Structure 1
Amino acid sequence: MSFESDKRFNDFKHFPRGLRRSGEFTVAEADSLEKFGTVMLALYQGNLAPRDETETAFIAQVKSGEAGSNPHAKVWFKYLKVIGPKRVHRLCTVAGGANEDTGAGSFEGGSTGGGSDESID
């Protein structure tokens, strides 16, 4: 049987409460990762040689970046996506952007606050 391991897979660094309780995986995906994740990680890192055609196909799919219909590759790609770097989307502009030349984005020298340029102590 492929992906056999005596050790259950746990990633307490990324999932301190466990894979099941993380909310990122379905019950079936968490079961698959816990059962086969140790071998998947070893194959992914190159620490273990594939023992059959299923494991060889898994390595080929991981290297190509496409999971296809292999459920092991699909759950492994999802795991890698979840532990990967998070993308942050900001809805605000960055200071010193395109409005720097016109002064439109600056609060300095504005005449809407009363008329004196003295600082408030």
Structure 2
Amino acid sequence: MNKDSFLSERNFYDSQHFPNGFAREGVFSLKESEILNDCGYVISQLNSGAQRPENEDQQEMLAFLQGMKDAESTIEKAWQKYQNHIHKQYIAMRALYTDTGGSYQESDSGDF
């Protein structure tokens, strides 16, 4: 898979999950950070359906994004690592704001 197939005039940022950038959070290698910065915008557009695949590499990426194939290329693996990290953060945040007992029971008396 060729990185040039995913280049865009726009860099990819995720200030919600990586406010200091991908390279400064200690999650990604420099190569992975570069891939996310350079290719992430097109990949996110493919993932959301906002962009249709324009070449064979993008077609393969879409198959990966849709779960029809495993991550094989460094680009797919970097995106998978990014998605896994975001998912872990979401689960951690959700655990902070939900009942840790695992169940919610309403009071019959109406008291809070």
Give the TM-score, by structure 2 length.
0.72
With over 3 angstroms needed to count, the CA separation of the structure-2 counterparts of 1:24 and 1:56, relative to structure 1, is same
**Which residue identity does 1:78 align to in structure 2?**
K
Alignment of 1:24 with 2:22, yes or no, is no
Report how many residues are paired. Answer: 89
Moved more, 19-28 or 79-88: 79-88
Q: Which has the larger radius of gyration?
A: 1
Contact 1:58–1:70 under 8 Å retained in 2: no
1:28-67 equivalent positions in 2, closer than 5 A: 28-64=31-67, 66-67=69-70
Give the TM-score, by structure 1 length.
0.67
1: CA distance, partners of 2:66 / 2:41: 18
Alignment of 1:15 with 2:14, yes or no, is no
Ranges in structure 1 where 5+ consecutive residues have no aligned partner: 89-93, 95-121
Moved runs in structure 1, 4+ residues, more than 2 A? 65-68, 85-88
Ranges in structure 2 where 5+ consecutive residues have no aligned partner: 96-100, 102-112
3-state SS in 2 of match to 1:64: coil
Which structure shows the higher helix fraction?
Answer: 2
Contact 1:9–1:36 under 8 Å retained in 2: yes
Structure number with higher relative contact order (C-alpha < 8 Å, ≥ 6 residues apart) = 2
Contact 1:9–1:34 under 8 Å retained in 2: yes
